[in-house]
Amino acid sequence: MTQDMTALPLSVHPSGTPAVATAPTAKAPAAAKARKTASHGAHDLNRNRGVDAALWVYILLAYAFVFAPIAASFIFSFNSDRFPSIPLGEISLDWYRAVATDPLVWEGLRNTLFVGVITGVVSTLLGFGAAYTDYRYKFAGKQVYLALALLPPTIPVIIMGLAMLAYLSRVNLSGNALSVIISHVVVCAPFAMAITRLRLSQMDPALEPAAWNLGASEWQTMRHVIIPFCKPAIFGALFITMAVSFDEFAVAWFVSGLNETLPVKVLGFLQGQVSPRINAIGTFVFVTSMTLVILAQLLLSNRDAKFRNTSGE
Amino acid sequence: MKKTHLPGASGAVTRRALLATGAAALAMPMLSRRAFAAPTELTMLAWYGHAEPDIVAEFEAEHNVKFVPKYYTGGDNMLGLISQSPAGTFDVILSDAEYVQALNAAGYVEELDPNDYALSDYFPEFQNFPGNWQDGKLFSLVTRFGFLGVAYNTDALTEAEAASYDVFWDPKLTGKVGHFDWHLPNLGQMSLTAGNAAAYDIDEAGWEAVKEKTMSLRSQIGGFFDYGGTFSSLNDGQMLAFAGIGDWITGVLEKNGAKVRSTIPEQGGLQWSECFSIGKGSQKADLAKKWIQYITSAKGQAKSAQMAAYPAIVPNAKGWEVLQAENPAEAKRQGMTKDAGNAMDLIRAGRIQYRQWPIQQDLETWNDFWSEYKGA
Amino acid sequence: MRSRISLYGLTFSLPLLLWQLLFFVFPLLFLVALSFWTVKNFTMRPDFDTVNWVTIYGRAVFWQAYATTFVMAALAALLTSALAFPAAYAIAFKLSDTARRWAVFLMVIPFFTSYLVRVYSWQIFLSDNGIINVLLGGIGLGPFPMLNTVGATMVGFLTLCFPLVVLLQLFSLAFIDRTLIEAAHNMRCGRLRTVFEVVIPSARVGLSIAALFAFILCFGDFVSPVYLGGGEPTTLSILITDTTKSGQQWPRAAVIALTMIATLLVVAFAAIRFAYKGRSK
């Protein structure tokens, strides 16, 4: 799925972007010339080696920042000391053992996966619908509709949690995986919508009417024009919403009752005992999801390569 | 986890199909929980640690029970959870003594029969523990308690220095004093420091003195921490002294080799107490009763005193004896010996006061002041 | 044509509407009602009393926390955007396709590790005897107090937002017509000027949305202020927890929450208006 996101620049035809449409005509000859140079490849853009080197260093620093806590968590998960400190204690698998032998952790993991996958799919579907509605239709009360669609993530999670619990328990939906899914979709659908909407705003507004004029029905146009165009965003949305759900602990803490998800368990470890089990769980989940993402990456790039070959690009 | 792979696993195929590819493999050990000969599930609402194996494993094996804990992070948090869950959700409820009355008043707990429990083994002070009884009826049973005083880093302070709350104002601790983030124990200690005889029963003048004293400490403070944050900031020397806590934190750290300890300072210490109740509408009240019997028995009490998550003193005199035989070092460390100056002597000498709700002010008044203090 | 109600249109617009009505608006209305309830003796009871609004709005602590939270979230949004942009820019324009694919892939990984775990891990770096101070000590510097400061909270906010912001920025940069940039260069437009006059305006929607997300996430986050900032200064999320930590004052917490919601609404609409300003939809 990541693959699809990166593939974006390849799949967009330059003239399809609004930027070109608004480009001042005076620049047209230069642009034509530029297009010629650009066809030699992206590296033609690189002119100043000093700046490029600086940017490279910057990228490395950015990734160092992002990965520092992950790496530390990985290292300390093998540390025998209960409280992480330098220098390290002995290498040990105790924390993994503690996690692996805790049936509640396994149950939490199962709940998390179950909730995350369903939340991802439902949120993406709802979000896509809303984004398309915003893109295509103008109607009275649209502002209200958009507010409804985008507002939930702005609610502080702790209050969202209580409001959801109070409400769901009144309609007998609290304390199980379903209640977590319901709340998570509320929070995640706006993310899916924002991502899809961003993609739709890159679509040539003439594309859809053009398809209709060629005799395609609305449904056919959706299926053969819009959905393929949005596919990267749909996968992106699916993936982001799942990730949001996997990581959400506050609302889940309230509504999950006794069916806790893994992040709720981790919150408990953090608040209640500060145990390196946090690191062990983090590392385990990390390695597992890495494996899945790499697999997806390999599968998709394989398919993508085939696609590119056949399309003669 | 026992390595039994169960028949239950095969029935889960459709659900597994919904999960991401890799999840299938993960699902195996998870499902194996179902492999146990279907133990009865007993739900417990408690502070972290009370349903961990070091405490419940023996009871679980004896009665073929599996505890399903929901750990909370504070009394109000607990009340919020109970009030929003259907009656009967929680079989066993552990609560701080302050909240026991609120549980009673709201009708969240069942009445207990005092004859079911080894109350006569308890020290007399704990047989009629305040809040446990209401109109001559027993609603909860105190199971463990501990003292709150000055927690300090033994590299930074001597025991003599830590023998008074005044040490928090020591210039060498600027930015190194931490608060456990709850107004009740902190303001109680400030009340004692300000010279109030009864920490929580203070008139307007006494309250003004508490506020003034507390505010004067503000510039010394390095942070406000929850349970976990308190642990780590004391352990790594981030904070060198802590208000509002005691051995329930430093005891654990000490066991892990950290150089921290708690004292009961000259102005006196406070006492926290944890009580067990049976949740209203519990379908397994009998089993819940068995659990409370177990954990308040001499054997259970010795276990409870040594709980891995955080140690505590127990109110059962016979429990002390079992602990002395089992783990004399820990009995000595926590003052549960026959020696003079033991935990009960401290209480009897009037050095310890119960942590409780403010008597002459509203709870809100205290809480609002605490927020102001934090924001100052 | 555009406004005609059809089965087709409803298929896409209705599901989200229904879901959010049922599971978002109703709980929210309940929250509004809750803010007028009263609390006696740890028990909330339905009521219509403005006491909670009057109490909260009358407290200096609340307004102070409000200002703090707003400024910190705004700062975090700006900081994250500013720090993320060179990275997003470099990934978009300086890397080969393969390298870019991997760069995105790597930036996605943090989503799969818990934010809680990462914050916990930062404690190990930032504490007085932590990794950074040990390293600095090796060259005779420090120790510098870092944990339990606003700076540490910002590190937490960056941890929370940075990958998302980079991805969103990248997403919008990817759509910029490269020929436009080449054109600018050929017109002897300097590198920096090109970035500010061509790249950033073209990517404005994405950049604004990314900053908005960062603001929203930081405004409501309680993990970084508590676990890295040491609970200081008091943010609104901390104030909410405090309010509920004693005496079941959920109605007052609801007042704070509703104020936060209103604020975020205003900010979100302002940001979106800014993002799409002058663009034909």
pLDDT in tens, B340-370: 889 999 999 999 999 999 999 998 899 889 9
Considering only CB atoms, A268 lies closest to which of B18, B71, B232, namely: B71
Domains and CATH numbers, chain A: 2-14+99-311 (1.10.3720.10)
* Co-location of B209 and B129 in the same domain: no
Average pLDDT, chain A: 76
pLDDT at A253 over 70: yes
* Co-location of B211 and B106 in the same domain: no
In a domain, B333, yes or no: no
Confidence of residue A46 (pLDDT cuts 50, 70, 90): very low
Contact B222 C148 (CB under 8 A): yes
C64 near B CB under 8 A: yes
Q: Once rounded to an integer, what is the mean pLDDT over residues B151-179?
A: 95
Question: Letter for the amino acid at A74?
Answer: F
In a domain, B193, yes or no: yes
* Co-location of B160 and B229 in the same domain: yes
* Co-location of B239 and B128 in the same domain: no
* Co-location of B365 and B255 in the same domain: yes
In a domain, B198, yes or no: yes
Residue C225, phi then psi, degrees to nearest 5:
-60, -35
User: What pLDDT digit, counting tens, does each position of A49-62 carry?
Assistant: 888 889 999 999 99
Confidence of residue B34 (pLDDT cuts 50, 70, 90): very low
Q: Once rounded to an integer, what is the mean pLDDT over residues A227-252?
A: 85
Q: Once rounded to an integer, what is the mean pLDDT over residues B307-323?
A: 94
Give the strand pairing for B221-225 and B177-180.
parallel
Q: Once rounded to an integer, what is the mean pLDDT over residues A109-133?
A: 93
- What's the length of chain C? 281
CB neighbours of A139 closer than 8 A, spacing ≥ 6? A145, C3
pLDDT of residue B21: 38
* Co-location of B65 and B22 in the same domain: no
Contact C234 B375 (CB under 8 A): yes
**B177 or C279, which is more confident:** B177
State which residue of chain B sits closest to C239, comparing Cα positions.
B371
Closest CA to C106 of B52, B22, A59, B71: A59
Alpha-carbon distance of A235 to A124, in angstroms, equals 8
Evaluate whether A282 touches C114 at the Cβ level (below 8 Å): yes
Q: B102 lies in which domain range?
A: 40-139+276-319
Written as six digits, the tokens of A240 are 């982001």
A297 near C CB under 8 A: yes
Evaluate whether B306 touches B323 at the Cβ level (below 8 Å): yes
**B243–chain C nearest CA distance, Å:** 15
In a domain, B47, yes or no: yes
Q: Once rounded to an integer, what is the mean pLDDT over residues A151-162?
A: 77
Confidence of residue B9 (pLDDT cuts 50, 70, 90): very low
Written as six digits, the tokens of B131 are 């809040």
pLDDT of residue C109: 81
Evaluate whether B375 touches C61 at the Cβ level (below 8 Å): yes
Evaluate whether A274 touches A83 at the Cβ level (below 8 Å): yes
pLDDT of residue A10: 30
Confidence of residue B99 (pLDDT cuts 50, 70, 90): very high
State which residue of chain B sits closest to C250, comparing Cα positions.
B80
- What's the length of chain A? 313
CB atoms within 10 A of CB C45: 11
pLDDT of residue A293: 65
Written as six digits, the tokens of C46 are 């339905």
In a domain, B341, yes or no: no
Cis before residue A29, ω within 30 degrees of 0?
Answer: no
In a domain, B44, yes or no: yes
pLDDT at B28 over 50: no
pLDDT of residue B168: 97
Helices (H), ranges, B72-226: 75-84, 97-105, 124-127, 183-193, 204-215
Instruction: Say if domain C60-276 classifies as CATH 1.10.3720.10.
Output: yes
pLDDT at A4 over 90: no
Contact A103 B231 (CB under 8 A): no
Which of C39, C102, C175 would best serve as a mutation to test chain A binding (most A beta carbons within 10 A)? C175
Angle at B66 between CA B52 and CA B62, to 5 degrees: 95
Contact C130 B229 (CB under 8 A): no
pLDDT of residue C112: 74
- Contact list, C31 vs chain B (CB under 8 Å): none
* Co-location of B93 and B216 in the same domain: no
**Which of A10-24, A237-251, B113-127, C131-145 has the highest average model confidence (pLDDT)?**
B113-127
Contact C240 A158 (CB under 8 A): yes
Residues of B with CB under 8 A from a CB of C: 74, 76-77, 79-80, 83, 99, 102, 105-106, 175, 178, 181-184, 221-226, 228-229, 232-233, 236-238, 363-364, 366-368, 370-372, 374-375
State which residue of chain C sits closest to B375, comparing Cα positions.
C234
- Contact list, B366 vs chain C (CB under 8 Å): 246
Evaluate whether C234 touches C65 at the Cβ level (below 8 Å): yes
Closest CA to B316 of B291, B289, B296, B330: B296
Alpha-carbon distance of A120 to A181, in angstroms, equals 9
Evaluate whether C181 touches A17 at the Cβ level (below 8 Å): no
Contact A136 C2 (CB under 8 A): yes
* Co-location of B95 and B210 in the same domain: no
Contact B85 A169 (CB under 8 A): yes
- Contact list, A260 vs chain B (CB under 8 Å): 70
Query: Coil, helix or strand for B149?
Result: strand
User: Among all chains, which residue has been given the structure tokens 């308690």?
Assistant: B145
State which residue of chain A sits closest to C90, comparing Cα positions.
A55
* Co-location of B255 and B305 in the same domain: no
- Contact list, B77 vs chain A (CB under 8 Å): none
State which residue of chain A sits closest to C11, comparing Cα positions.
A129
C153 near B CB under 8 A: no
| Cα dihedral sign, C134-A272-C70-A131 | positive
Q: What would the 3-class secondary structure string for A247-266 be?
A: HCCHHHHHHCCCCCCHHHHH
Q: Once rounded to an integer, what is the mean pLDDT over residues C109-135?
A: 86
Q: How far is CA A108 from CA A78, A117, A176, B166, B310, in A?
A: 22, 14, 12, 46, 24
pLDDT at B10 over 80: no
pLDDT-above-90 percentage for chain B: 69
Q: How far is CA B17 from CA A113, B10, B24, in A?
A: 12, 12, 8
- Weakest-pLDDT range from A29-38, A101-110, B7-16, B323-332: B7-16
B17 near A CB under 8 A: no
Q: What is the ipTM of this complex?
A: 0.88
User: Among all chains, which residue has been given the structure tokens 């932590």?
Assistant: C130
Confidence of residue B11 (pLDDT cuts 50, 70, 90): very low
| Per-domain boundaries in chain C | 60-276
Confidence of residue C163 (pLDDT cuts 50, 70, 90): very high
User: Among all chains, which residue has been given the structure tokens 């930036």?
Assistant: C107
Contact C12 A6 (CB under 8 A): no
* Co-location of B358 and B226 in the same domain: yes
pLDDT at A3 over 80: no
Residue B246, phi then psi, degrees to nearest 5:
-160, -150
pLDDT at C199 over 90: no
Alpha-carbon distance of C88 to C104, in angstroms, equals 10
- Contact list, A281 vs chain C (CB under 8 Å): 114, 117
pLDDT of residue B142: 95
**DSSP result, C159-177:** HHHHHHHHHHHHHHHTTS-
Which of C2, C16, C198, C202 would best serve as a mutation to test chain A binding (most A beta carbons within 10 A)? C16
Selected residues 27-56 of chain B with any CB under 8 Å from a CB in chain A: 27, 29-31, 33, 43, 47-49
Confidence of residue A155 (pLDDT cuts 50, 70, 90): confident
**B48–chain A nearest CA distance, Å:** 6
* Co-location of B369 and B298 in the same domain: no
User: What pLDDT digit, counting tens, does each position of A170-206 carry?
Assistant: 787 777 789 999 999 999 999 899 888 888 988 888 8
Contact C230 B229 (CB under 8 A): yes
Query: Is A310 exposed, middle or buried, given 0-12, 13-18 or 19+ CB atoms closer than 10 A?
Result: exposed
Alpha-carbon distance of A258 to A255, in angstroms, equals 9
Average pLDDT, chain B: 88
pLDDT-above-70 percentage for chain A: 75
Cis before residue A156, ω within 30 degrees of 0?
Answer: no
Give the strand pairing for B269-278 and B352-354.
parallel
**C59 or A253, which is more confident:** C59
Q: How far is CA B45 from CA A179, B1, B327, in A?
A: 20, 23, 28
**B54–chain A nearest CA distance, Å:** 12
When computed from its CA atoms, the radius of gyration of chain A, rounded to whole angstroms, is 24
* Co-location of B30 and B44 in the same domain: no
Evaluate whether C189 touches C198 at the Cβ level (below 8 Å): yes
User: Among all chains, which residue has been given the structure tokens 């919008």?
Assistant: C172
**C78–chain B nearest CA distance, Å:** 25
Query: Is B204 exposed, middle or buried, given 0-12, 13-18 or 19+ CB atoms closer than 10 A?
Result: exposed
Q: Is A294 left (phi over 0), alpha (psi -120 to 50) or beta?
A: alpha
- Contact list, B236 vs chain C (CB under 8 Å): 127-130
Written as six digits, the tokens of A53 are 């080197």
Chains with 3+ CB–CB pairs under 8 A to C are A, B
CB neighbours of A239 closer than 8 A, spacing ≥ 6? A1, A2, A120, C108, C111
Which of A80, A105, A258 would best serve as a mutation to test chain B binding (most B beta carbons within 10 A)? A258
- Contact list, B6 vs chain A (CB under 8 Å): none
A26 near C CB under 8 A: no
Average pLDDT, chain C: 87
Considering only CB atoms, C239 lies closest to which of B105, B225, B371, namely: B371
Contact C191 A129 (CB under 8 A): no
C111 near A CB under 8 A: yes
- Contact list, C107 vs chain A (CB under 8 Å): 63, 66
Contact C244 B77 (CB under 8 A): yes
Considering only CB atoms, C61 lies closest to which of B79, B236, B372, namely: B372
Q: Once rounded to an integer, what is the mean pLDDT over residues C45-51?
A: 90
- H/E segment holding residue B151: strand B141-153
Considering only the C-alpha atoms of chain A, give the largest distance between any 2 of them, rounded to a whole number of Å: 71
Q: Once rounded to an integer, what is the mean pLDDT over residues C188-193?
A: 76
Number of domains in chain B: 3
**B372–chain C nearest CA distance, Å:** 6
Q: Is B223 left (phi over 0), alpha (psi -120 to 50) or beta?
A: left
Which of B218, B224, B227 would best serve as a mutation to test chain C binding (most C beta carbons within 10 A)? B224
Which of B103, B364, B365, B373 would best serve as a mutation to test chain C binding (most C beta carbons within 10 A)? B364
